[in-house]
Amino acid sequence: MQISVSNFAKEDLIDIWLYGHDVWGEDLADMYLDDLYAAISSLTFSPYRYPEQSGENTVSFRLMPIRSHLIAYEVLETEIFILRVLHKSMEKNTQISGNT
């Protein structure tokens, strides 16, 4: 399956890297982001591993925990669509949308 990433998730990943860069430095920020990308890539092997979620006013999605983050994604016919990459402290239905 192909993996696509929403604009929201791209912004999330940039924000995660910027935060990591400010707090831990460039090398650790790069390593953390690499771990997130590896986790996202691993979804191609078992996209249905994580249970489906649904919140108020959101599409159905799945949540994959990785370190301090949750990767919200949809499994579509031919792709895995990454909706958001949220910190675990955020609400799981925070602006999760399948449209962006």
Q: Are 92 and 70 in contact (CB under 8 A)?
A: yes
Mean pLDDT by 10 residues, the chain (100 residues): 96 98 97 97 96 77 94 96 92 56
Question: pTM score, two decimals?
Answer: 0.86
Report the pLDDT value the prediction gives residue 89, as an integer from 0 to 100.
Answer: 84
Greatest Cα pair distance, the chain, in angstroms, is 39
